[in-house]
């Protein structure tokens, strides 16, 4: 009993000594926190996703105030946060373009051939260690949802075919899914870019045909049909130059395997009104031959053929071509 009492007294004494030492050190080495850090922190979304390059919002807020870090690095907060911080700190507001994650693969169940059934750890990074995954396509999505698990905004779900489905409205472009994907088939794109290639395979066309019905077969038809020469073939894959691309969607419509993806869910249809003089300029630019009519007489557009590319509208000299139906392409970053 005496030993127990002595032990308790000793432990308590050591606790008082160390506690006093810590309290003294805290007082001696105390550094006043800049109150602006908390003010900046209030203007950040609090997602702590790390997309800014810091461990969380508190670290980023401190870097902005103490180190003069750029104020437009918060992807979830976007321009709303950066403008508010700029006003608070009397700094210049620098706008950034909102981004979104896209999947460069359409090889789900029933579309892509598989080597066999995988029964290991349900993580894409683990599955890829076993012969590169269970699909014949070396570039195909593993489909175990590691991207779903890591998304801090619940913006990704798995489709019945085992492919990630990204919610445009929830995705903030933080890049966590991009970083975790072992196949590197998730990538960030500006929201203003509406069309992209939903395939990452660099195999030759014949090989792709053997293992995926929606894979790019390198036919080059999109390159030939692009009205602004914005596509070129690189390593058996079409590459879009978004400085030239006008998001017309022609590449989507001409692709024989449906490898392209269009973020515009429903494109507008065009019509020709009574001002038409029958000059025929619209006929010459229509890539799908949806416009017909005799010279010097009113022309018409076949709605069943029109793909809503909009190439006819700017060439009409009398502004006789209008839009009806869906809202179509909006160029602002929130569309």
Per-residue pLDDT of the chain (335 residues; tens, 9 = 90+): 666 777 767 777 777 777 777 776 666 655 567 889 999 999 998 878 877 878 789 999 999 999 999 898 888 888 889 999 999 999 988 777 889 999 999 999 989 999 988 889 999 999 999 989 999 999 999 999 999 999 999 999 999 999 999 999 999 999 999 999 999 999 999 988 999 999 999 999 999 999 999 999 999 999 999 999 999 999 999 999 999 999 999 999 999 999 999 998 888 899 999 999 999 999 999 999 999 999 999 999 999 999 999 999 999 999 999 987 544 444 433 33
Q: What is the pLDDT of residue 9?
A: 76
Strands 260-262 and 195-197: antiparallel
Domain architecture of the chain: domains with CATH: 35-89 (1.10.15.40), 97-192 (3.30.70.20), 201-263 (3.30.70.20), 269-324 (3.30.70.20)
Q: What is the pLDDT of residue 201?
A: 96
Backbone angles phi, psi at 160, to 5 degrees: -60, -25
Q: What is the pLDDT of residue 47?
A: 79
- CA angle, 143 as apex, 139 and 149 as ends, to 5°? 120
Q: What is the pLDDT of residue 330?
A: 41
Q: What is the pLDDT of residue 103?
A: 97
Burial 91-130 (b: 16+ CB within 10 A, else e): eeeeebebbbbbbbbbbbeebbebeeebeeeebbeebbee
Q: What is the pLDDT of residue 96?
A: 78
């Amino acid at each position: 009993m005496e030993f127990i009492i002595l032990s308790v007294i000793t432990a308590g004494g050591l606790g008082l000594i160390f506690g006093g030492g810590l309290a003294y050190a805290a007082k001696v080495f105390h550094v006043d926190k800049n109150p602006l850090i908390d003010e900046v922190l209030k203007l950040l979304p609090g997602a702590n996703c790390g997309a800014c390059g810091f461990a969380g919002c508190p670290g980023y807020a401190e870097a902005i105030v103490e180190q003069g870090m750029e104020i437009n690095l918060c992807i979830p907060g976007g321009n709303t946060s950066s403008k508010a911080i700029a006003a608070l700190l009397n700094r210049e507001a620098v706008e950034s373009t909102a981004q979104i994650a896209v999947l460069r693969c359409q090889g789900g169940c029933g579309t892509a051939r598989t080597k066999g059934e995988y029964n290991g750890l349900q993580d894409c990074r683990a599955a890829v260690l076993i012969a590169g995954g269970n699909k014949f396509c070396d570039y195909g999505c593993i489909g175990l949802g590691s991207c779903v698990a890591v998304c801090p905004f619940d913006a990704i779900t798995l489709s019945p075919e085992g492919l990630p489905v990204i919610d445009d409205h929830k995705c903030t472009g933080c890049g966590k899914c991009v970083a975790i994907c072992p196949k590197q088939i998730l990538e960030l794109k500006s929201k203003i870019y509406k069309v992209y290639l939903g395939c990452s395979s660099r195999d030759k066309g014949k090989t792709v045909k053997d293992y995926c019905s929606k894979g790019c077969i390198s036919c080059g038809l999109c390159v030939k049909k692009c009205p602004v020469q914005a596509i070129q073939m690189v390593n058996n894959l079409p590459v879009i130059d978004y400085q030239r691309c006008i998001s017309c969607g022609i590449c989507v419509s001409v692709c024989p395997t449906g490898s392209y993806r269009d973020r515009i869910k429903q494109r507008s249809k065009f019509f020709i009104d009574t001002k038409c003089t029958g000059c025929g300029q619209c006929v010459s630019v229509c890539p799908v031959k949806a416009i017909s009519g005799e010279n010097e007489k009113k022309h018409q557009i076949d709605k069943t053929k029109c793909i809503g590319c909009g190439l006819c509208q700017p060439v009409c000299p009398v502004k006789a071509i209008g839009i009806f139906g869906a809202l179509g392409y909006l160029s602002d970053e929130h569309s």
